[in-house]
Chains A and B, each alone.
Chain A
């Protein structure tokens, strides 16, 4: 495979997924991302700040948990983004393994650290909620353990990409890890149903059986959309930066070869 991700021959051709390659072209991605990024950043900051401030200052205290329930407004969005980030990582890895698309490799590389960060926030905020509610920062409960495994999968992915001298080997190994690790996602989601866990069951349901009052649901949803947009903004900016770094490197290399 061509080491230069920006070379035209590095973009696979053929009928399979040709529309995908059309839109996932690095140069085209940069041209699309540049005007979108400031708007994406503005919306993500606005919604995240609104959701967090609403949850911290204005949302009502829970009748049972009191003010400790306010941790939900950062913990739940971080957990959702951590899982969605890993799903995106698995999708990129799938595209990378099947179609060998270099942009999918770059996207997976940039998603890893951001997803690991959100997972860390989820674990820490959960531990800080657990101490006053359960009397312990950590218990080896199915939900907590599976999220910890998710964090380790992210760390493994980050390490594996950088573990080989040949970057392509790192991308392939990390993609396989990401795909195998995707089996952990349904385990996280259904852990509270499959096992008798200390972690509370699902409070929000999209089928209309939510057990949360509307005055608490609004700030939670706003913070969640804000966190999702933050993730999207960060990954788009990091991916754009990675493409530009490689393009600069490729130009310098081509110039050095011409001059030698």
Chain B
């Protein structure tokens, strides 16, 4: 049996999840920093 699609699929899902949540979290963090800075200096 060819295991490659199953192995690639599980690694693919993991990497996509980690990248996705990482990028979204980083974007939210940067946005929160900018917003707080803008509110504090207004």
Contact = CB atoms under 8 A, between A and B. Distances in A.
B14 A52 contact: yes
A15 B40 CA distance: 34
Interface residues of chain B: helix, strand, loop or mixed (majority): helix
Given A66-B3, A248-B35, A125 B14 contact: yes
Interface string B18-42: 1001100110110111011001100
Kindly name the residue among A66, A71, A242 whose own CB sees the greatest number of chain B CB atoms within 10 A: A71
A3 interface: no
A70 B7 contact: yes
A101 to B, nearest CB: 21
A230 interface: yes
Contacts of B11: 52, 56, 70-71, 74
Given A56-B11, A117-B21, A230-B18, A132 B29 contact: no
Interface residues of B, number: 26
A75 interface: yes
A251 B4 CA distance: 54
A128 B22 contact: no
A217 to B, nearest CB: 19
B39 A252 contact: yes
B7 A234 contact: no
Interface residues of A, number: 36
Contacts of A48: 18
Given A67-B7, A71-B7, A251 B39 contact: yes
Nearest to A30: B36
A241 interface: yes
B37 to A, nearest CB: 9
Q: Which of B15, B25, B35 has most chain A Cβ within 10 Å?
A: B25
Interface of A: 37, 48, 52, 56, 66-68, 70-71, 74-75, 78, 114, 117-118, 120-121, 124-125, 128-129, 131-132, 230, 234, 237-238, 240-242, 244-245, 247-248, 251-252
5 contacts: A124-B10, A237-B25, A240-B32, A244-B36, A245-B36
User: Top 8 closest A-B pairs, CB basis?
Assistant: A125-B10, A244-B32, A241-B32, A74-B14, A128-B10, A248-B39, A244-B36, A68-B3
Given A48-B18, A71-B11, 4 more contacts: A125-B14, A132-B6, A237-B28, A238-B25
